[in-house]
Structure 1
Amino acid sequence: MRGKVIVAIAIAIVVVGGFAGLQRQAGTVVLAMALEERAGVDRTRDLPDGLHVALCGTGSPLPDPGRADACTAIIAGRHIMVVDSGEGGARNIALMGIPNGRIDAVFLTHFHSDHIDGLGPMMLLRWTGSGATSPLPVYGPPGVERVVAGFDDAYALDAGYRTAHHGPRIAPPTGAGGVARPFAVPPRRSNDQVVVFDADGLRVTAFRVDHGPVDPAIGYRFDYKGRSVVVSGDTAASPALVEAARGADLLVHEGLQPRLVKLMTATLTKRDVPNTAQITRDILSYHASPALVAREAQTAGVRFLVFTHVIPQLPSRMMYPAYLGDARRLYDGPMMVGEDGMMFSLLPSSHAIDFTRLPVG
């Protein structure tokens, strides 16, 4: 809303003036107002102590102008963690007023491109945003070492340029890139969980999910001061997820609506795009429909359900009922289709979940 007001002021100045000089003046005024509203803003500074979940990317590999790729930010006390680092996620974190420089760690669910292709900007903005003297920790199952090493190698020249330009105080050479933090995953077809982070009252546990042939694929549960959130990663039906999500306050779960995806397949087939059509057939086997997710959330006793990694693209909110299908009939708690910029706040000594929107445009 504030952005629309700024644009309206600019238009009024130009209409009233109608001269190039006034247009230049209007541009300067608008930029100054935008900078005052956004530059250096830390919207986490006044958050009450608790568990806050910010959706920094709710999209998928399918191009979607309104959604970045997979990215969920978790704020717990003084810690800022990020689950997955898809393209556009680091940008959205900055736009939302969450300081990139204060990100403590990234937790990867698996190594599909749309969950890792934003790691470069995530590492860069964290490093230069705080003058970090050590690399960004990146947690994940075995294989995370190779992913992090690849990004470090790809960005090595860039890091050298930035230190040479800005100096080692602003861009310390020891702080560039990331450092892999691999952990042993639970056995296949087990409901076991493993603690991968435990400090300052925040505990992060990892569990297997079913995204075959991707293996391993991981979901995470975050517990802080009696409140909890589970992030599914990409998965089909998963008994381990149901077990990990038992009693959770908030479940952030991927969702693919088969009926809508089949419409996409039919259109691609009609237009003779066979490769992409086959991909849309294949993805049905290793994602979860909203109805299936609703059943699992009901079984687990989850208090609030939010869909992310939304497939297919939904150009309008008018499509949300078609996307959800029977989900509302199968789950008796509150449910939302996630959008970039949404934030959910879970405060201690309460069962309430407060909702707000942070700017991403």
Structure 2
Amino acid sequence: MTKAGRAALWAAAIIGAAALAAWLFQRPIGMWLFERAAERNIGRDTFADLPDGLHAGLCGTGSPLPSHERAASCTVVIAGKAMFVVDAGEGAARNIALMGLPNGRIKAMFLTHFHSDHIDGMGPMMLLRWTASGNTAPLPVYGPTGVENVIAGFNAAYALDNGYRTAHHGEAITPPAAAGAVAMPFATPGAPTIVYDADGLRVTAFAVDHRPVQPSVGYRFDYKGRSLVVSGDTAASKSLESASKGADLLIHEALNPAMVRTLVANLDKAGRKQTAQIMRDILDYHASPAQAADSARVAGVRMLVLSHVVPSMPSPYLNAAFLGEADDRFDGPIIVGEDGQYFSLPAGSDAIERGSWF
């Protein structure tokens, strides 16, 4: 055998031995990695690192359009150590958990309107809030008139499952009295109306223009001198600009019309006429990034965050194209929101700190 042949045999033997060692140790190495990950993730406490103040986390920045990167509409608001949720789109409960914010700590939910992509994640959120959380009452869900029907439907859909879980885990872990949710309806406000006021947090609801979807509202949160606004779905709305006056942070929905028209043209070309028409229809009841920037300027807010991003941006490299003229309309920072991002407004400060909880 030649020298080269012997070298090749030695190389093959070494590779084979390495592969055998990897196979033999794969199970204990895998278990060690799993144990370390479990220790790190289960022991994580996002609340421990938060200063007293008002904080917002983006648990869903998407829309009904499917996206790997974005869950449907959801915003977490933390006032002090109390956690609230605005809307509960598909995937929101998963993201809340991944952000290190236990669903069991949700004190109340606020719904802006009853489009499916703002409510279809409520089932998992209600379940995770209930199981092994120590809560003794159902999740309060605030919303305009009609929220009673939504909550009744979810409670009915989950009634059998709730019974199974109590039978399996016992009433100490899954008490029947704490399952599901309870509706907290309010009339669609003609003027900004306080719908929640406790422990230093004031939540004000205001009507927005999402016609033909009515009722539809946004919410302003005020806590210890800091404030943030969640628009819900809306076209450009004077009522939102008025309710947002002087807020630190405006989280506003945004749709890029040029990009949506590009989708329409390609859907037409592909023969998908029905979906193309749906995309045309959404153009007139959402705000563009430029319109959101105009509202931020008129309201005098300090930072604008765009959520309910349509179409979904799969990469930050597309953000400039999505914003279009928005940067020319508002002098403050404009952020194209991404799932997992957070914004902290510490009490006694004018700072806005941001990062990611993923």
TM-score (norm 1): 0.93
Tell me what 1:100 maps to.
103
Please say if 1:145 is aligned against 2:148.
yes
Matches of residues 1-361 of structure 1 in structure 2 within 5 Å? 18-187=21-190, 192-359=191-358
Alpha-carbon RMSD:
1.3
Q: Deviation per CA, 1:100-132, whole angstroms, max 9, x where unpaired?
A: 111100100000000000000111001114132
SS of alignment partner, residue 153 of structure 1: helix
Inter-partner Cα distance in structure 1 for 2:355 and 2:321: 24
Runs of 4+ in 1 over 4 A off after TM superposition: 14-18
The alpha carbon displacement at 1:160 in A equals: 0.5
1:34-84, Cα deviation, whole Å (9 max, x unpaired): 112211422112311100101000000000110000000000013100000
Write the letter of the residue equivalent to 1:23: Q
Aligned-partner Cα distance in 2 for 1:178–1:223: 25
Q: Which amino acid aligns with 1:270?
A: K
Cα contact 1:67–1:340 (8 A) shared by 2: yes
In the superposition, relative to structure 1, how do residues 304 and 129 fare at CA in structure 2: closer, same or farther (>3 Å)?
Answer: farther
Moved more, 219-228 or 124-133: 124-133
Contact 1:185–1:194 (CA<8 Å) still a contact in 2?
Answer: no
Cα shift readout 1:285-338 (whole Å, capped 9, x = no counterpart): 100000011011001101000000000021211110010000001100011000
CA distance, structure 2, for counterparts of residue 220 and residue 90 of structure 1: 20
Structure 1 residues 15 and 67: alpha-carbon distance in aligned structure 2, compared to 1, 3 A threshold: farther
Percent identity at matched positions?
Answer: 61
SS of the residue corresponding to residue 72 of structure 2 reads: coil
Amino acid at match of 1:298: R
| Structure 2 residues without counterparts, runs of 5 or longer | 1-16
**Matching residue's letter, 1:92:** N
Query: Is the alpha carbon distance of 1:274 and 1:36 closer, same or farther for their aligned partners in structure 2, counting shifts above 3 Å?
Result: same
Q: Distance in 1 between matches of 2:143 and 2:43?
A: 30
TM superposition score normalised by structure 2:
0.93
SS at 1:168's partner residue? coil
Q: CA deviation at 1:26?
A: 2.3
8 A Cα contact 2:47 2:81, kept in partner? no
The total of aligned residue pairs comes to: 342
Distance of 2:123 and 2:18 partners within structure 1: 43
Within 1, Cα distance between the matches of 2:141 and 2:24?
Answer: 50
Per the TM alignment, residue 233 of structure 1 is displaced from its structure 2 partner at its CA by 0.1
- 2:127–2:180 contact (8 Å) kept in structure 1: yes
> Which secondary structure state, in structure 1, belongs to the residue aligned with residue 259 of structure 2?
helix
